[in-house]
Structure 1
Amino acid sequence: MKLAKRINSSSVFLVSGGARGVTSECVITLAQQYQCKFILLGRSPIIKIEPEYVKNYFDEYGLKKSIMEYQLSQAQKPTPISVQKIFNQISASREIKNTLSRLRQAGGSAEYFNIDVTDYVSLQAKVTHFSAITGIIHGAGNLADKLIEKKTEQDFEIVYAAKVQGLENLLSCVNIAQLQHIVLFSSTSGFYGNIGQTDYAMANEILNKSAHLIQQKYPNCHVVAINWGPWESGMVTPELKKAFTERNIGIIPVEVGTQMLVKELNSSKATPQVLVTSPVFPPATEFNLELKTYRIRRQLILDENPFLQDHIIAGKPVLPATCAMSWIINTCENIYSGYRLFSCKNFKVLKGIIFDETFVDEYILDIQEKAKDNNIQEVEVFARISSEKSQKVRYHFSGEFKFLREIPSAPLYTLPEEQKDTIPPWKDNNFYQNWVGMLFHGVSFQGMNKFITFSQEKFTAECFWQKIEAKQQGQFPVQWFNPYALDVSTHPLGIWLQHFYQKSALPASFERYEQFAPIPCNEDFYVTTEIKSESDFSTVADFVIFNSQGKVSARLFEVTFIRWFT
């Protein structure tokens, strides 16, 4: 793919909603950086000569007071609606003038046109006079927040049209083939959803999908839908701020958000959709204290889970135990909105799921609530995966899982100094080719880099799991729990087993698992393994998984590995 041209002083951006709010701050920052030109579109008119009675008032209180006094002097009865209407007109006009002034001071140039982006006829009549447009920034948007049962068709049209019809109109008025940049201001509401914003979420998600389609059709254009979280300024009402606070969503400072836009447009790797927000956690579920049970049936389809081709034992794809855990964990986290896994105990591999003659069309996940508490915000369940064949029930995996609203702070673990003299002089560190007895894993599960220390009792290894595409993950997506990286964390033990005992083993059970943070992906992480016992038939070990700063992501205690071939 040929990269889009860099922004420079010759670049000309057509900008909807660009003279006010967040979008105006973004174009001002672009002007400071590149001294380019902007054609700004907005619904608010510029008041060239303000009425005398407002000229010396600039704060909201003083301006509204002056408007009321003027209405009284004209024998008019001031009402909140009439005062607010005039206030909005004056404030909008002043903001537009201020934007144009700041753009000139930044070294850029701009023209403003009072045009509603949903008005195609007016838009086309004005835009066709500009032949050198090289980019579009679509920042226009409206809100009409209400619960869905209270929304009207007019509410939907106001919100939907500004985003979707606005984009269609902008693209219809320019020569898309000559565009170098298309930036769509979307929202995390489209990505995550938000109460009262069904129409806004729908419109923004259409922008997200449009970015992908446009990028495919015009690969030489840098196309991106930026899913912004809430800004310090912008369409964030007090009600929305409260909702964001309840979900631990941080507010984006203006100077941070604008620099993120510049960085994105400077990136040599065009990504059609970018999420800019802090991690989003849904509101906590208010439990009905009656203990419940759930039964979920699922078909496992080999072709829809490409990663399974990287986990083949004795010639057959085998579902990793960590993926069985993720099946249970992800299901529970969907049931208990706002809660995440903290611990699992007494997890057992009873009968693995193998894609051979024992495979069945349907597998069953049973979840039985053991305890739940709204005050300490935790829930405990027993979960088991089973199947039926010829009227016979087979149990595959089971364990007890605890989910918390707030995960405890991660403990710290000291990365030991590298002790090269303790590490055997292997020819190279290509473990997945040279140690195939235990490390049979394909690329989806490869990540063992090197040993930091190595002894018969305890050792630390450096790992790196390269995140695989969502399509590769199939029915077992990485969320809070990462089944692929956790599997990688056990690989150093496989090398240890073959080095000292010339044997291989598979995990059969563990006493306890704790998770404080996601296991890192696309960056180095470390695993310290301590051997608790060793026999001819099994090995028992503890694991600590931590990042380069020593922050513990997860811990495994009393993991039993059973010998499976020599």
Structure 2
Amino acid sequence: MHESGQNDHICTDISRYQVTISNPSSVFLVSGGAKGITAQCVIRLAQRYRCKWILLGRSENAPIEPAWVRDSLSESELKKRIMEDLLAQGEKPTPMKVQKVFNTISSRREIQKTLSTLEQVGSQAEYLSVDVTNPVTLREKLAVAVERLGPITGIIHGAGNLADKLIEKKTEQDFETVFAAKVKGLENLLSSVSLSQLDYLVLFSSVAGFYGNAGQTDYAIANEILNKSAHLVKQYHPNCHVVAINWGPWDSGMVTPELKKAFAQRNIEVIPIEVGAQMLVEELSAAHHETAQVIIGSPLTPPAEALDPELRSYRIRRRLTLEANPFLQDHVIGGNPVLPATCAVSWIINSCEQLYPGYKFFRLENFQVLKGIVFDGTQANEFILDVREVTKTDANEVTFEVRIWSEKEKGKIRFHYTGLVELRQQSSASPVYNPVDNTSSKTITGLSLYQSKTLFHGLTFQGIERVLDINEKSLTMQCILPKIENKQQGQFRSHPFNPYTADVLVQSALIWSQHLHQVGCLPSEIQQITQFKSIPFDQHFWATLEIKIKTETQIICDITTYDSLGEIYMHLSGVKFTISKSLKFLEKK
């Protein structure tokens, strides 16, 4: 997954950033840059851009090894030599002592390998043994390095510590160890240079800061401070290329086979070193100059816990505004923006999922539109979502009854939407759908439907590519909805239920009623929505509407959406639409 947040400041001279990093006089200061993942990223950058590097780390560096270890390359041989040396000094070679010496030698070798590789690719590099949390020593050593290499024009802050424990087991020292490296380290790095001279500021953050993660409260806090710092620096220094990269777990030595298995169970993908390093290079291109924060990795969904048998109730309050939800301008009925019913569905589902991390939406039953939310100036300032747990089963399933309402006047309640949500710990496999026979050879383009008065939807919801077949019993259409930026989605994000692609399905009934019976219609009730997987953006999907009942006042139908192999994304059954010739307000004004 790769998401970005855009900053409002626009640079008017992009050309200068296309050459800055490749300038041989550019000097990058890199914390944690001589070992591990950060070192691999620096090497990849150096292969692309020949500039100078000041690498910081806490490890001591000794370019010349003792004679007794120079030809020992394997771990077993090196540890054997270490034990012999300890014995020669009259010390007992305990496993702890041997490991400590081994780690010191391995660390020095890795530092030397990084410096040697940078030199081989044509970059000049120096290593400074210094703790970034010590501002005095940091400034002293940097001053000497700057005299040799030149003024610092870029910073990459990759240093960090972990102290993973459940919060009730964490100590103040655990917090300080984690917090200081990230936050105090950044503060000290920025205070050692003039921000006005920086062309680049790259902060190695984590998806833990964006999503949170069990056992990493301190790490999540520290990384989220880096995220906010990136936006703040960008605000005051718009000419600087600033980015906080929220990395997921890397495929490095720290990720053991057991940990990989645990990640796989949570659908978390590890980042291959070569891929991650190359993505860093791409993030520093001029095309991403205005992007202050990116996420590279999978969402950190916590593992599901066993259900507590106690049934609880919750009340969640929410304010909705046009300004916070730009997509509403593409869903205007009768001159007023109207919240799509699918967004109300998304609101209900997401609220329930947030109560039970690790559980996934499977089914919504008896969804009703009681009084839609119309932004006509008289809408409520606040909306209340009441959630009541109805059942919990040994099969790790939980069902909620949900109502969304508002108070129009003091003491006068107005109900908007209701429904029953079922969450499951395990997803069900997607069944295969066999579409109804397409008997018509004449297709209708989606463009013609949106340009005519058949569909009122603006660009955000224009996902119908063409209608493949339409008759009195059914309609089949091919769809694709381009990716909608998060800012456009506002308070109604597309995970796990995608309200924007789902709204495209609802449009099938509008086409059917207008095309065959010259009447408008609006959704009022859905007996059941079953989702097997989310309908994606930027990919073709197909939908078939099947008419079950048609009267003078309503249509009841089923809608099924599926991929090119027929695997079902979602099935809507018992979808009720109110139809009337008087519903002319659906036409564009």
Is TM (by shorter chain) over 0.5? yes
Identity of aligned residues (%): 53
Residue 273 (structure 1) shift:
1.4
Q: Give matches, 1:221-370, under 5 Å.
A: 221-233=240-252, 244=263, 247-266=266-285, 268-270=287-289, 271-301=291-321, 304-355=324-375, 359-360=379-380, 362-370=382-390
Q: Give matches, 1:371-382, under 5 Å.
A: 371-374=391-394, 376-382=395-401
CA contact (8 A) 2:128 2:141 kept: no
Instruction: Give, in whole Å, the separation in 1 of the partners of 2:66 and 2:396.
Output: 58
2:502 corresponds, among 476, 486, 491, to 486
Q: Secondary structure at the match of 1:286?
A: coil
Query: Quick check: 489-498 or 75-84, which moved more?
Result: 75-84
Q: Secondary structure at the match of 1:422?
A: coil
Does 1:160 find its partner at 2:173? Answer: no
**CA 1:559–1:256: 2 relative to 1, 3 Å:** same
1:125 equivalent in structure 2: 143
Q: Give matches, 1:58-77, under 5 Å.
A: 58-77=73-92
Residue 351 (structure 1) shift:
3.1
Q: Secondary structure at the match of 2:421?
A: strand
1:8 equivalent in structure 2: 22
CA contact (8 A) 1:30 1:36 kept: no
2:165 equivalent in structure 1: 146
Q: Secondary structure at the match of 1:369?
A: strand
Query: Quick check: 301-310 or 398-407, which moved more?
Result: 301-310
Q: Deviations over 1:430-449 (max 9, x none)?
A: 533421xx533344434334
1:429 equivalent in structure 2: 447
Letter in 2 for 1:93: R
Q: Deviations over 1:161-193 (max 9, x none)?
A: 222232233334445445443322111111122
CA contact (8 A) 2:211 2:299 kept: no
Q: Give matches, 1:177-256, under 5 Å.
A: 177-233=196-252, 244=263, 247-256=266-275
Q: Deviations over 1:19-75 (max 9, x none)?
A: 100011112222333444322222212223323443343333443343233223322
2:416 equivalent in structure 1: 396
**CA 1:262–1:357: 2 relative to 1, 3 Å:** closer
Q: Secondary structure at the match of 1:75?
A: coil
Letter in 2 for 1:83: V
Residue 110 (structure 1) shift:
2.3
**CA 1:177–1:549: 2 relative to 1, 3 Å:** farther
Q: Deviations over 1:466-496 (max 9, x none)?
A: 4545454444333211223211222233233
Residue 381 (structure 1) shift:
2.5
CA contact (8 A) 2:443 2:466 kept: no
Q: Secondary structure at the match of 1:272?
A: strand
2:56 corresponds, among 36, 41, 46, to 41
Q: Secondary structure at the match of 1:268?
A: helix
CA contact (8 A) 2:18 2:285 kept: no
1:113 equivalent in structure 2: 128
**CA 1:295–1:181: 2 relative to 1, 3 Å:** closer
Q: Secondary structure at the match of 2:48?
A: helix
**CA 1:143–1:298: 2 relative to 1, 3 Å:** closer
Instruction: Give, in whole Å, the separation in 2 of the partners of 1:61 and 1:264.
Output: 40
2:41 equivalent in structure 1: 26
Q: Secondary structure at the match of 2:163?
A: coil
Letter in 2 for 1:341: F
TM-score where L is the length of structure 1: 0.88
Question: Structure 2: 5+ residue runs without aligned partners?
Answer: 1-10, 585-589
2:4 equivalent in structure 1: none
Residue 95 (structure 1) shift:
0.8
CA contact (8 A) 2:352 2:421 kept: no
Query: Quick check: 505-514 or 271-280, which moved more?
Result: 271-280
Letter in 1 for 2:311: L
Query: Quick check: 99-108 or 230-239, which moved more?
Result: 230-239
CA contact (8 A) 2:139 2:192 kept: no
Q: Tell me the number of residue pairs that the alignment of Structure 1 and Structure 2 aligns.
A: 561
1:498 equivalent in structure 2: 514
1:554 equivalent in structure 2: 570
Residue 460 (structure 1) shift:
3.1
1:104 corresponds, among 119, 123, 138, to 119
CA contact (8 A) 1:516 1:552 kept: yes
Instruction: Give, in whole Å, the separation in 1 of the partners of 2:141 and 2:176.
Output: 19
**CA 1:415–1:179: 2 relative to 1, 3 Å:** farther
Residue 529 (structure 1) shift:
2.5
CA contact (8 A) 1:9 1:37 kept: no
Q: Secondary structure at the match of 1:71?
A: helix
**CA 1:82–1:448: 2 relative to 1, 3 Å:** same
Letter in 1 for 2:293: Q
TM-score where L is the length of structure 2: 0.84
**CA 1:91–1:179: 2 relative to 1, 3 Å:** same
**CA 1:520–1:131: 2 relative to 1, 3 Å:** same
Q: Deviations over 1:140-170 (max 9, x none)?
A: 1122333334444443333222222322333
Letter in 1 for 2:403: R
CA contact (8 A) 2:403 2:417 kept: yes
Q: Deviations over 1:75-99 (max 9, x none)?
A: 2234444333322211110111112
Residue 338 (structure 1) shift:
0.7
**CA 1:488–1:345: 2 relative to 1, 3 Å:** same
Question: Structure 1: 5+ residue runs without aligned partners?
Answer: none
2:6 equivalent in structure 1: none
Q: Deviations over 1:124-145 (max 9, x none)?
A: 3234323254432221112233
1:520 equivalent in structure 2: 536
CA contact (8 A) 2:213 2:302 kept: no
Residue 267 (structure 1) shift:
6.3
Instruction: Give, in whole Å, the separation in 2 of the partners of 1:136 and 1:548.
Output: 47
